[in-house]
């Protein structure tokens, strides 16, 4: 499934970084014996789920469970605002659950999902894709959550909907000093709004904080070990959890794997390469069809025409969704969103055809989807949460001069996406909270095996990251599986080989052979 990414505000490209210098007492459980109120003893009050909040993306309450048997239920978990002061203030963490459909005697426990982002609402994502995990539900309660700072879990708020519309219309690839100044100004305005409106939560949305929330969740749900399915950024969260609590890792799967060895710049560069590969594959696919490709006569012609479109839009936007226009930035966002999944390639073709005729509707709809904007003009808090988590985790801060020095390297990797991703590096400049580290710590000696799945055609989390994650987790922990396919992630591609491997491990404890390849 696609996962939102916005290079406009420093994308979720490589690993978020985490605070690695931790007191042993924190790693062991934050001094639970001395806590005035032992949060591990709290009882969750599961009820029918309300309609999603605006921060979660709005809409209606989740539909009945697949097959019409039972309903989704929701609850709120209390967690420390500051894990360094576990007896202090608390925040609410929103959870959703579907009880196991199988016999009670066959139930293994809870399987907790994180679908990525960072900044995506798990409370809305799990019901949306619940049918895809029906087999896993035969032996697990399926559980997901809004990580801190996201959705209903102490959400970060920054700018209002009208301000966000202006934010995303801004030129994200400046060509001269005036445009660079304007880009920096609008970035500073956004970051200042986050500090003003969310000062209390901003220092406490690091991935290490979310990992500690996961362990609290495990205990409250009654599981001896954490059974976990992490996708995209969720693989980084899972890796950080395994590092902090290696003996508490149960059966875990990482899909669409973040490379934990890279800093922000290396990750952005890798993603520029990944989206260029996806575009190359899209162009080749389009011209290989028996029906004539409507957006180019050859693969190179497809890419050349896209490059010309973006160049033309830089100076002359076309009508998009009234009153907004399709700018160069919005069109690039839309193309990137469509490259997340081969299922979206037909939409990309339609959107390009339309844009060549002066109508930016489809590409703008794709861009809005990536940025968390609904048709009614309301934004969820994906943008605010994504930036906040990235900037709290990532230590490096980049100036416009830093980016300009790096542009040749980015352009060498991708003439189409290089500038776009390079300028995304300034998103954390002047952020109120210092970043924690260059990259996350995920080594987890002594942990149970973790199945790590890499997709050779993944644009957002390039394939090489899976091997590096498996190696970083440690010998006997990371077990790599390769899927030769397209799009972001492997399990939801429907590939039987991949799904059999995942089911074999999560349901029956059978670890596939390291180096298994699925086509």
Annotated catalytic residues are 232, 458, 488
DSSP state of 513: P
Q: Give the bridge partners for 394, in sequence order.
A: 437
Between vectors from CA 327 to CA 422 and to CA 266, what angle results, nearest 5°?
15
In angstroms, what CA-CA distances link 486 with 150, 233, 279, 316, 332? 29, 18, 11, 33, 20
Between vectors from CA 227 to CA 243 and to CA 257, what angle results, nearest 5°?
60
276 and 286 in contact (C-beta within 8 Å)? no
C-alpha 426/C-alpha 67 separation (Å) is: 47
138 and 354 in contact (C-beta within 8 Å)? no
Residue 48 sits at φ, ψ, to 5 deg, of -60, 140
C-alpha 67/C-alpha 373 separation (Å) is: 31
Coil, strand or helix: which one is 283? Answer: helix
Token pair of 395 as six digits: 């230590």
Place of tokens 């390079």: 422
Coil, strand or helix: which one is 158? Answer: coil
- Please report which helix (H) or strand (E) contains residue 164, including its range: helix 161-169
5 and 370 in contact (C-beta within 8 Å)? yes
């Amino acid at each position: 499934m696609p996962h939102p990414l916005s290079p406009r505000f420093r994308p979720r490209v490589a690993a978020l970084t985490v605070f690695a210098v931790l007191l042993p007492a924190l790693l062991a459980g934050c001094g639970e014996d001395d806590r005035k109120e032992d949060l591990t003893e709290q009882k969750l009050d599961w009820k029918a789920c309300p309609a999603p909040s605006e921060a979660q993306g709005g809409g209606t309450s989740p539909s009945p469970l697949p097959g019409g048997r039972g309903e989704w239920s929701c609850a709120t978990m209390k967690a420390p605002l500051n894990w360094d002061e576990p007896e202090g203030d608390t925040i609410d963490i929103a959870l959703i659950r579907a009880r196991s459909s199988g016999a009670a005697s066959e139930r293994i426990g809870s399987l907790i999902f994180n679908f990525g982002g960072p900044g995506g609402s798990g409370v809305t994502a799990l019901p949306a894709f619940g049918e895809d995990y029906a087999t896993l539900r035969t032996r697990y309660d399926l559980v997901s959550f809004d990580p801190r700072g996201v959705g209903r879990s102490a959400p970060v708020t920054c700018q209002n909907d009208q301000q966000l519309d202006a934010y995303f219309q801004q030129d994200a690839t400046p060509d001269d000093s005036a445009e660079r100044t304007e880009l920096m100004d609008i970035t500073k305005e956004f970051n200042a709004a986050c500090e003003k409106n969310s000062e209390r939560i901003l220092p406490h949305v690091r991935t290490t904080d979310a990992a500690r929330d996961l362990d609290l969740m495990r205990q409250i749900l009654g599981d001896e070990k954490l059974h976990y399915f992490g996708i995209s950024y969720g693989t980084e969260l899972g890796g950080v959890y395994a590092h902090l609590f290696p003996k508490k890792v149960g059966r875990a799967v990482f899909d669409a794997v973040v490379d934990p060895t890279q800093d922000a710049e290396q990750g952005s560069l890798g993603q520029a390469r990944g989206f260029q590969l996806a575009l190359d594959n899209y162009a080749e696919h389009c011209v290989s069809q028996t029906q004539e490709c409507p957006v180019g006569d050859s693969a190179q012609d497809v890419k050349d025409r896209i490059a010309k479109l973006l160049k033309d839009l830089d100076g002359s936007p076309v009508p998009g969704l009234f009153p907004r226009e399709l700018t160069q930035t919005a069109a690039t966002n839309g193309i990137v969103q469509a490259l997340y999944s081969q299922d979206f390639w037909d939409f990309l073709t339609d959107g390009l055809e339309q844009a060549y005729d002066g109508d930016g509707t489809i590409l703008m709809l794709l861009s809005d989807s990536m940025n968390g904007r609904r048709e009614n003009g309301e934004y969820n808090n994906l943008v605010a949460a994504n930036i906040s988590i990235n900037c709290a985790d990532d230590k490096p801060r980049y100036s416009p001069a830093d980016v300009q020095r790096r542009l040749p390297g980015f352009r060498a990797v991708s003439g189409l996406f290089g500038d776009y991703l390079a300028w995304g590096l300034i998103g954390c400049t002047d952020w109120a909270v210092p970043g924690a580290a260059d990259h996350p710590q995920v080594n987890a000696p002594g942990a149970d095996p973790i199945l790590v799945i890499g997709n050779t055609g993944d644009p957002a989390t390039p394939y090489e990251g899976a091997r590096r994650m498996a190696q970083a987790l440690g010998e006997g922990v990371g077990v790599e599986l390769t899927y030769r396919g397209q799009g972001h992630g492997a399990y939801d591609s429907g590939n039987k080989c991949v799904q059999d491997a995942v089911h074999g491990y999560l349901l029956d404890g059978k670890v596939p052979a390291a180096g298994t390849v699925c086509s």
